[in-house]
Structure 1
Amino acid sequence: MFHTTTLTLNKEFRRAYYRGRAFTTPVVVVYAIKNHKGINRIGLTATKKIGKAVQRNRARRIIREAYRLLEPEFPVGWDFVFVARSRTVFCKTGDIMKAMRQAILRLFPES
């Protein structure tokens, strides 16, 4: 990932949840908030509602790969939090990419 690091602190996730813009699709929820750092930071979340560890890890893995493939389409200087939903486990990377493209177009109509 070229311009991307990861979010690790709980306060960074909470900031995105409460102050950021959100877009919901059936397979993923995307939160975005400006970070003024010149790089993107991503956070991946999969709750126990998704399933056991294998399913949660798969959900995070396919979301991370979809983001990696779409990274040039995302604007730079933002924090993104991707929340896996129960359908995420049964989707392929292409389905997640389609949902992320929808989110980009909705959250950033000017780009």
Structure 2
Amino acid sequence: MKYTVSLKLNKDFKRLYYRGKFKASPVLVTYILKCRGKQCRMGITVSKKIGKAVVRNRVRRIIKAAYREVEPQFHLAGYDVVFVARSKAVEKKSTDISREMKKQLGALLAKK
């Protein structure tokens, strides 16, 4: 996550949801959109439906760890990326989520 900045503003998340390309699975939904910046901006969304705060933070940490594994393989400079955790993400480990992330990012970046 050397060149990755966090997405924080609600308008940035909404822009990705409405204008970005997405790929979904029972574990994770990935949204991606080309932007003007030179850095990759990444955001993670975990709904309250997933569980209490401890569980949601654990899922967030697992997604960050998976992203750190996947990031060097894809050149995401100039892209905004949002990962939305689904209920099955609670049961998964970072290796499972990174495998799913690779599939989704590969499919999304191939569609350019």
- Tell me the alpha carbon deviations over residues 42-88 of structure 1, each in whole angstroms, 9 at most, x when there is no partner: 00000011011111001111001100111112332100000000010
Q: How do 1:42-57 and structure 2 match up within 5 A?
A: 42-57=42-57
**Structure 2: 5+ residue runs without aligned partners?**
none
**Structure 1: 5+ residue runs without aligned partners?**
none
Give the TM-score normalised by structure 2: 0.94
Report the secondary structure of 2:110's partner residue. Answer: coil
Q: Provide the C-alpha distance between the structure 2 equivalents of 1:104 and 1:81, rounded to a whole number of angstroms.
A: 11
Residues 11, 110 of structure 1: alpha-carbon distance in 2 compared, 3 angstrom cutoff: closer
Give the TM-score normalised by structure 1: 0.95
Q: Percent identity?
A: 49
AA matched with 1:99: E
Structure 1 vs Structure 2 CA RMSD: 1.3
Q: Kindly state the Cα deviation for residue 3 of structure 1 after the two structures are TM-superposed.
A: 1.2
Q: Provide the C-alpha distance between the structure 1 equivalents of 2:105 and 2:68, rounded to a whole number of angstroms.
A: 14
